Structure 1
Amino acid sequence: MLRYLIEKEFRQLRRNSFLPRLILLFPCMVMLVMPWAATMEIENLRVAVIDNDHSEMSTRLVHRIGASRYFKLAELPSSYRAGLEAIEKDRADLILEIPRGFEKEQINGRTAEVMVAVNTVNGTKGALGSSYLTQILMDTSSPIPSVRYRFNPHSDYKVFMVPALMALVLVMLCGFLPALNVVSEKEAGTMEQMNVTPVGRTAFTLAKLLPYWAMGAVVLTLCMGLARAMYGISPAGSPATVFLAAGVFVLVMSGLGLVISNHSATMQQAMFVMWFCMLVFILMSGLFTPIASMPPWAQAVTYLNPLRYFMEVMRTVYLKGGGVTDVAANLAVMAGFAAVLGTWAVASYRKRG
């Protein structure tokens, strides 16, 4: 019986002219576009430098700032007032004022103070620009330490984002599509035919879950192939660990989708509820904002977010080379979510013959 139900699901998927294209095109669009857009790096910040010292050391500092890919020398104003005017007229984002005696203080072994003024209308841009410039100033005024970057040697933001975007693709496809599955059959009237058959609730739920589990494997394989081909990003650990975690996570999301679909009367209602859940999951998962930087109450809420655990698994395997033992706790929590939501999906399906 289960075999025929699964076959029915795949036939319905093939008859839909839009969904097969969506399943293939959506991961491609996310993997090809989002790693370039979903980045916290800011380049070509315009700097106005006021060099009051005109020494060899201050000139070297100005050249070093101009050579950085994060900055672009916009102006060399003669006074601080002229620099402020450049910011007010949107010709500069930062002002660096080098005082007289800058080189003398450095030669005498004292720390020379400089002034940095930042346009923080865009708070993120201003904070990052100030941080980049401060790092250059610190390297200039003190011996450069030997720094080794672990897990992401080139500090490439795409290495951090691509594994998380794979999780995002699975959330959107394996969460939204099951949420619309049952309710679409209710609106089409085919659920009435299913209700008069001897199909049990467990078999019905498994027939809805397993096709999305297979679809998740296909989508993840496509995403991993694109990540390797386009960005040269491959898991530092075993790909089998990635597929194991993804298999459990897909059951979590498709189970949630079926629960929402069983309790929804219309597709609009199911879409609204699922979209609300997706927003909460994505924003509270650590995808863009580190969980450690959230307030304590928000950090506590993230423990109820299954995407948090899968995100940690993906980044642990991809960046740190972790194995099953390293992510066992996350896998156990996701398995618990899958069991609860799967049981809820079975219990919430009511046959009305």
Structure 2
Amino acid sequence: MKKLRFILQKEFRQILRDKTILAVIFILPLFQLIIMPWAADFEVKNVNIAYVDHDHSSYSQQLENKIASSGYFRIAGKANSFKEGMAMIEYGTADLVLEIPPGFERNLVREKSQKVNLSVDAINGTKSSIGGAYLLQVIADFNSNLDVNIKSPNGQPQVPVAKISVKTTNWYNPRADYKNYMVPGILVLLLTMIAGFLSTLNIVKEKEMGTIEQINVTPIQKWQFILGKLIPFWIIGIIVFTLGLIVMYVIYDIIPKGSLWVLYLLTAVYLIALMGLGLLISTFSDSQLQAMFISLFFIMIFVLMSGAFTPVDSMPDWAILISDLTPVTHFIKVVRLIVLKGAGLPEIKNELGYIAMFAVVLNGFAIWNYRKTT
């Protein structure tokens, strides 16, 4: 233990000596956590619509007013023809073209049906699909209220048709606020990037400085050396995670519904697994630049396939398999379960087992691969 204490003293002195690294470790992740959830917005707003009205009736005006007052759309302009509406899409001033045909009100009153033409700019796939779905909901709501206004030929109100009324309730996120879903995931990704990069550059930095040779001739065992490299950044990771939880509470008013002890237990095990991967990469690398590129490769896979931004279930089978083989996927799932749902240790024990398995395998491989030669 005395040898391990000497290594820890050396590592903490090196970390505290570099003020720039300290700022990168503690300040930048907090700014990113404050800014990124506002940019990673799942809600689509301010969708521009080119409204082509060939009917100019009271009903077409009501539909236009309902769309404009929904809070999601803006009438970018009223085109005189479908060709003019498409020109607005080509120039980037409109995202959708809604064309109201002639006889819109007459056919609704007499025929009880009418088709409209909706054209969507699909270059931005997310905005087009979600914006088009929102517009269809607005039109459906407008259509459902027509039986109140349309009268039968004898002037009497129509007998309302029996309908099934469906009321939905959002559990664990009652306001369906995307920030409650995104902030925990972004916190995990920032923690992954900080802890992953720092641990990756650890051993390889000793190689570039030439101090690794001095360490190799000492009686320090391999596991003591790896543990001495892991513990300081494990402590830093816990501090960064704590600061992230404070930002979640102060800025976004998100309070974990589950046990903080369970949350910190998962974080502690996850950091060990993540830093084991970083140390393993460091033992294979000969320079910091090489280690950074290898680490960036894995970090990008973790970010894109972790389920932080897109559901894992919607991925192909081969992608789901790769996602399950990354510890980040399991940790993001667990953090969201604890923060939003209030899950306890019995509910997340399987995920904890997966992360612990990653920690044992990666750190064991890092210790085995570190060549201590004299």
Give the TM interval when normalised to the shorter protein: over 0.9
Task: Specify the alignment match of 1:347 in structure 2.
Answer: 368
| Cα drift, residue 257 of structure 1 | 0.6
1:283 matches 2:285: no
SS at match of 1:287: coil
Counterpart contact for 1:106–1:141, Cα < 8 Å: no
Task: Specify the alignment match of 2:194 in structure 1.
Answer: 173
Counterpart contact for 1:213–1:247, Cα < 8 Å: yes
**1:114–1:25 CA distance, 2 compared to 1 (3 A):** same
Q: Distance in 2 between matches of 1:336 and 1:83?
A: 57
Give the paired residue count.
353
| Cα drift, residue 31 of structure 1 | 0.6
| Cα drift, residue 108 of structure 1 | 7.0
| Cα drift, residue 313 of structure 1 | 0.6
Task: Specify the alignment match of 2:287 in structure 1.
Answer: 266
Alignment counterpart, residue 228 of structure 1, candidates 242, 249, 262: 249
SS at match of 1:49: strand
Give the alignment's TM-score, normalised by structure 1: 0.94
- Structure index of larger Rg: 2
State the AA in 2 paired with 1:6: L
SS at match of 1:260: helix
1:209 matches 2:230: yes
Aligned 1:1-353 pairs, distance under 5 A = 1=2, 2-103=4-105, 110-142=112-144, 145-353=166-374
- 1:96-132 per-residue CA deviation (whole Å, 9 max, x = no partner) reads 1233454456567945432211112222222221112
Q: Which segments of 5 or more consecutive residues in structure 2 lack a partner in the other structure?
A: 146-164
- 1:271-315 per-residue CA deviation (whole Å, 9 max, x = no partner) reads 111111111111111122211111111111111111110010111
Counterpart contact for 1:50–1:76, Cα < 8 Å: yes
Give the alignment's TM-score, normalised by structure 2: 0.89
**1:238–1:60 CA distance, 2 compared to 1 (3 A):** farther
Task: Specify the alignment match of 2:148 in structure 1.
Answer: none
Percent identity (aligned): 41
State the AA in 2 paired with 1:199: I
State the AA in 1 paired with 2:125: G
**1:231–1:105 CA distance, 2 compared to 1 (3 A):** farther
Q: Which segments of 5 or more consecutive residues in structure 1 lack a partner in the other structure?
A: none
SS at match of 1:74: strand
Q: Distance in 2 between matches of 1:65 and 1:97?
A: 13
Q: Distance in 2 between matches of 1:231 and 1:108?
A: 52
State the AA in 2 paired with 1:11: R
Q: Which moved more, 1:32-41 or 1:303-312?
A: 32-41
Q: Distance in 2 between matches of 1:88 and 1:210?
A: 56
**1:132–1:269 CA distance, 2 compared to 1 (3 A):** same
Q: Distance in 1 between matches of 2:124 and 2:33?
A: 27
SS at match of 2:346: coil
